Amino acid sequence: MSVRDLLFVTGMFLSILPDFHAQGADPKLWSLQPVQTDFSQKGIDQFIAEKRDAAGLMPVAKAEPTAMARRLYFNLVGLPPTPEQLAKFEKDGFEKTVDELLASPQFGEKWARHWLDLARYAETNGRDRNVVFAHAWRYRDWVIDSLNADLPYDEFIRQQVAGDLSPDAGDAEIVATGFLTLGPKSFQERDREKFLMDMVDEQIDVLSRSVLGLTVACSRCHDHKFDPIPQADYYALAGILLSSETLHGPGPLYFQSHQHDKPVVAIGPEKAKLDAEVKKWRGVIYEKTIEAMRLRSAGYKIRRTVTGALRERGLKKPEDDPELLKQHLESEGMYKKAETLMAEREELLAAPPNKPGYAMALREAEKPEDCNLREGGMPKEHGPAIPRGRLTIPGLPMLDEIGEDESGRRQLADWLVSEKNPLTARVIVNRVWHHLFGAGLVRSVDNFGVTGDKATHPELLDFLATKFVTEDGWSLKKLVKRVVTSDTWQLASSGAYSEKASAIDPGNSLYWRANLRRLDVEAFRDSVLQISGELDPNRPENGSVFSNAFLGNEYGKPGTNRVNHDEEIAGFQHRTVYLPIVRNEIPELLKQFDFADPNAPTGARNARTIPSQALYLMNDEFVETQSTAAANRLLKSGPESDSEKLDLAASWAFAGKFEEEVKRKTSAYLDERRSELVSVGKTPEEAAVEAWADVFQILFSGIRFRYLE
Amino acid sequence: MQTRRHALQSTVHGFGYLALAGLLRKTAPAASAAQSSPFAPKRPHFPARAKRVIFLCMKGGPSHMDMFDHKPKLAEVDGKALGDNEKIKMLGSLWDFKQHGQDGMWFSELLPNLATRADDLCMLHGMNSENPEHAQALDFLHTGSFQFVRPSMGSWVLYGLGTENQDLPGFVSVNPPHVLGGAKYYGSAFLPAAYQGTPVGQYQKNLKDAKLSNISHPRLSREHQRKRLDLAQVLNRETADRLPENRDEIEGVIESFELAFRMQKALPEVMDIAGENPKTLEMYGIGASGSDSFGRQCLLARRMAERGVRFIQVNDGDWDHHGGLAANMPKACARIDKPIAGLIEDLKQRGLFDDTLIVWGGEFGRTPDDGTRDGRGHNADGFTMFLAGGGVKRGFKYGATDEYGRKAVEGKIHIHDLHATMLHLLGLDHENLTYNWAGRDFRLTDVHGHVVKDILA
């Protein structure tokens, strides 16, 4: 290729680049225009090829089968293929494997995490009182189960917004409404009105960003600065949410009461009976506690009077005066009674009755009301009442009429997933594309507004949205299959023509190759555990380590308000999606590797490369322990020779083989390390484990393992 | 300097890292030392007035008319609604102002220590930015763009100049916020990953409690750890060779391991202030309840500056005073007043002040009026920042806002101009510090920015 060719191609490319330099407001926001439904192209590859060809770019070849298997496994189930699964993949072929993986329960565990990022899922409140949300895990499991059951996306959203209002609502539909209850709240806020306005603000933010890709919460104080979202629309939504009750807990097993508490809902078999028993039990404990506190305080008062009188009169002990003795005995009696009551309380606490399940949920408020607009977003500055659900964003449909005695959540849910709403389908297909390719067709996955990016392939986005709704019935599994079976998804990450193409399109926005992507922290941790043989594929017993924190206390040991969450979860062997997430106490591993901050919805995680990640991989106990476990597993079950062992380790770690030179160096390293260790007195067995643990530490920290080609 | 022609030819001749790097950093200054590390110190475009930057970032938007921008007229109209909305009333500053230093620089009574340093400061009253929303304005302040993900200024500086201490990160952000843009504020966007900033400490948590997680191995000797890392890098380089398209990213990972290895020794040393003179600690307000945390951050900045770290950002939050101005503004000022005065004094004593550029400011300032009577709104049209140290005039005030402090009217400096001037002081031409990506040369200042010559010493 000559320089002239390259310049020529560059010029052509520039002429078809999407106009991503455009500044300022868009009079007709693209994402609010109707979804195009008529296409001459037949599939993903045609849309991609048209733009790629126009730039004079050739795609690289298809990925090698092992690379393909690894990519497929990680993208669909978040785990690496075992050597047996690799062999099966080669026998069964691509499509059959896709179907099997989509049907496996691990699919939901992998894909639920993407939605949980958007739902800012956590098991504590964060903010000012880090109250444990002991029942949040039910929502997490509902998301996993729903994805595994391939609940159509419109229904998936509808249930989360208004599941409790569907005619045949059961426990699952109630649990689903936990979505809007999980946010961080300012429980210390004294002003109830401000508390509610802030809570609703957070709900509007999560709902609008996750489902619509719009930042509606920007309109709390004024009309949106960029997007056509009037301030009144914000309050039209706020009215709906304020006309619903957010049952965020912590009760009914919580023993202190705060003005903002809203008891969670009982679910499961015999819920009414069991809940009544729990409430009775709690009531007895409560009464005993109150009485004990009263007695202690009264006893203390008397005790103080007695000691005061003794000092005043120069006496030594109460026995020196009959009246004082009487008072003294009375006070001692009170203390003793209190002690008995507290002991009884402890006994009761230790033997709770069978409890029902509980769920954080939404329900209709007793008196639905329109919300007044607030001038400048100030809770106390009441403007005119805005009719619930009267949304006027141009391009979006109207909500169905809302009756006087209903909140409007049902209508809101229908509106969100209406086929006339151009945003919802576009936003979700783009999210799926983002997770499968590492970048969305619209790069700003949570912002389809004016300040967001435009689609690099707008027609393809509409094509996918149309197929998703009309042909695939909002099935996420079918959407995933449609994308991964395209040639575009199956390209190698490197190959011929790369040099030329790299110079023209280094960001790969024309899809001439596959992106190199770092594994999500969940996939990293789960893979390490799978390779070390320590992964427990089951769900944690009772849902979560917090499910028995039935006192609903603030996170932390009583009195200290702080525990080391990293220590608490050391030894946790379930998949990472089940790790209890404590707001503001994110485990070190997750924090280092760009877990989504659960204080706000996140559609696209960061991908930082910073030295503290390297420090984690070089020094952290988790990596050390798991490397040793993997070494033991390899030495016990593996083949005899170092060479075969290395082949197996490479297959575990990256579904591939060591390059010859690397393998030679690794063998030499093993030899040297073993004899070194034996020379300082280790047995050959110990030396072998330690040397192989080094190899696994190297593999686990290596790019080939942590990145997906 | 490499020409485009050379660069393009080199891609044809093979795709070593240097060739690719050469292509991409077409107009970055040439590295003076071995080119193998992206952090090697590089010669600037022209002689620099400052070697390093300490950026004291006040997230939230500090109220300039309660700190530096004295507005007697505002006090006169206190309580009056001058606009259409009768609820939005003017609010005079609650604090007394006095002039300090030879140039008669104004300081409110909330900043008694900083006021003693008036003759060291270059006060900029005519600052203005693009957008009065936190998320956008913070993006803009850090990256020069509020619409797109762009490299942060520290990354640009590290890319342009490399760094002088290969054992510490060249760009550090102390207690960076994780909210709003978060990692973007020290991110490298399309610049190679190696130029990303390294966060130290946690937002709004005392640096005293910052733990250096995993800074050493509990068991292994340094020699053995080195051997193990060598083998790991053999494996990583093999991947880098196989995937030339991703070489920059992979080199970034490889480099991060090397830096991490060196940091194991250097970082605990720089973070450990046990050897500091008690007088020095006192000077920074360390030990005093209100200023302890920010004092520690400033002291760490000096320790890093001393050791050759190129760009040090020190973060403070809680400047978004919509309400509770009377109660919270004194606290916020007390948090930073002594530490910053101490930092300047300390840098001077150590001879570092002359080639260190201190930049102080937030993403915007605040409005002279508000509906609450105890707070102020966001104002990107006029606010105050100050510079101090390497290459800027001292005891000098520049620019002005209107009589109420609402709009910059004189000596206006846009954030793009601030970026251009900062780069200029570091010896970098903001129009020539470019990076070619996706078919276009990008700059920190986009197509804008003027060096503010009036404030150069």
All domains of chain B in start order, with CATH: 34-207+277-433+446-455 (3.40.720.10)
> Which chain A residues in 530-559 lie under 8 Å from chain B, judged by CB atoms?
none
What confidence category does residue B199 fall into, taking pLDDT thresholds of 50, 70 and 90?
A: confident
Looking at residue A690, its amino acid is E
Q: What is the mean pLDDT of residues A298-306?
A: 93
pLDDT of A497 reads 66
Instruction: Calculate mean pLDDT across residues B332-352.
Output: 97
Average pLDDT, chain B: 88
Mean pLDDT along residues B429-439 = 85
The chain A residue lying nearest B168, using CA atoms, is A611
**Interchain contact, B235 vs A704, CB within 8 Å:** yes
Nearest CA in chain B to A698: B232
Which pLDDT belongs to residue B245?
85
Q: How confident is the model at residue B86 (pLDDT cuts 50, 70, 90)?
A: confident
Q: How far is B439 from chain A (nearest CA, A)?
A: 6
Written as six digits, the tokens of B33 are 């030392």
pLDDT(A53) > 60? yes
CB-CB neighbors (< 8 A) of B214 in chain A: 588, 612, 615-616, 618-620
pLDDT for res A11? 37
Helix (H) or strand (E) holding A244: strand A244-247
pLDDT of res. A16? 36
Q: Is B252 on the interface with A (CB under 8 A)?
A: yes
**pLDDT confidence tier of residue A23, bands split at 50, 70 and 90:** very low
Do residues A156 and A217 lie in contact, with contact meaning Cβ atoms separated by under 8 Å? no
The one-letter code for the residue type at A498 is S
pLDDT at B211: 75
Residue A419 has pLDDT above 50, yes or no: yes
Q: Are B416 and B448 in contact (CB under 8 A)?
A: yes
Q: Residue A554 — very low, low, confident or very high, per pLDDT cuts 50/70/90?
A: low
Hey, is the C-beta of A186 within 8 angstroms of any chain B C-beta? no
In this complex, the residue of A6, A17, A661 whose CB is nearest that of residue B8 is A6
Place of tokens 């702080």: A562
Q: Tell me what pLDDT residue A27 has.
A: 53
Indicate the residue of A494, A592, A666 with minimum beta-carbon distance to B242: A494
Between chains, do B438 and A506 touch, taking CB under 8 Å as contact?
yes
Least CB–CB distance from B245: residue in A494, A600, A619: A494
Average pLDDT over residues B69-95: 92
- The SS3 assignment for B369 reads strand
Look up tokens 């230790």; give the residue. A350
Q: With the C-alpha atoms ordered B138, B357, B420, B111, is the resulting torsion angle positive or negative?
A: positive
Per residue in B143-180, pLDDT (tens digit) is 998 877 789 999 999 999 999 998 999 999 999 987 66
Percent above pLDDT 70 for chain A: 92
B438 confidence band (pLDDT: 50, 70, 90): low
Give mean pLDDT, residues B370-399: 94
Q: What would the mean pLDDT of B431-457 be, rounded to a whole number?
A: 89
**Cβ-Cβ contacts under 8 Å for A400 (sequence gap 6 or more):** A411, A414, A415
Residue B311: predicted pLDDT? 98
With an 8 Å Cβ cutoff, are A665 and B234 in contact?
yes
pLDDT score of B188: 85
Quick one: pLDDT at residue A687? 97
Considering chain A, what percentage of its residues have pLDDT values greater than 90?
70
Residue A243: count of CB within 10 angstroms of its CB:
23
Answer whether A609 sits within 8 Å of B264, measured CB to CB.
no
Test B235 with A504 for CB contact under 8 angstroms. Answer: no
Nearest one of B386, B282, B279, B289 to B335, comparing CA atoms:
B289
pLDDT for B215: 87
Tell me which residues of chain B, numbers 195 to 214, contact chain A at a CB-CB cutoff of 8 Å: 196, 198-199, 213-214
**d(C-alpha A483, C-alpha A43), whole Å:** 10
pLDDT band at B270 (very low <50, low <70, confident <90, very high): very high
Contact A225 B133 (CB under 8 A): yes
Residue predicted with more confidence, A286 or A110: A110
**Nearest chain A CA: its distance from B380 CA (Å):** 14
pLDDT per position as a tens digit, A590-629 = 988 989 989 889 999 988 888 889 999 999 999 999 999 9
Q: Give me the percent of chain B exceeding a pLDDT of 90.
A: 68
Q: Would the pTM of this model clear 0.95, i.e. be above it? A: no
Q: Which chain B residue's Cα is nearest to A510? A: B438
Question: Which tokens belong to B225?
Answer: 């750890």
Separation CA B402–CA B71 (nearest Å)? 9
The answer to whether B3 faces chain A, any CB pair under 8 Å, is no
Torsion angles phi and psi, residue A346, rounded to 5: -60, -40
Instruction: Give how far Cα B386 sits from Cα of A576, B70, B287, B288, B294, Å.
Output: 47, 15, 26, 25, 18
- Give the residue, A422 or B191, on which the prediction is more confident: A422
Lowest mean pLDDT among A326-330, B369-373, B387-391, B409-413: B369-373
Segment A65-89, tens digit of pLDDT = 999 999 999 999 999 999 999 999 9
pLDDT at A251: 57
- Write the DSSP symbol of residue A554: B
The per-residue pLDDT for B13 is: 31
Whole-number Å distance between alpha carbons of A236 and A409? 12
Q: Does A612 touch chain B (CB under 8 A)?
A: yes
Which residue in A525, A517, A518 sits closest to A590, CA to CA?
A: A525
Average pLDDT score over chain A: 89
Nearest to B183 among A606, A620, A703 (CB): A606
Instruction: Report how far residue B428's alpha carbon sits from residue A283's, in angstroms, rounded to the nearest whole number.
Output: 72
Instruction: Say whether residue B225 is in contact with chain A using an 8 A CB cutoff.
Output: yes
Tell me the mean pLDDT in the region B227-241: 95
* Structure token digits, residue A130: 């880090």
Measure B227 CA to nearest chain A CA, in Å: 9
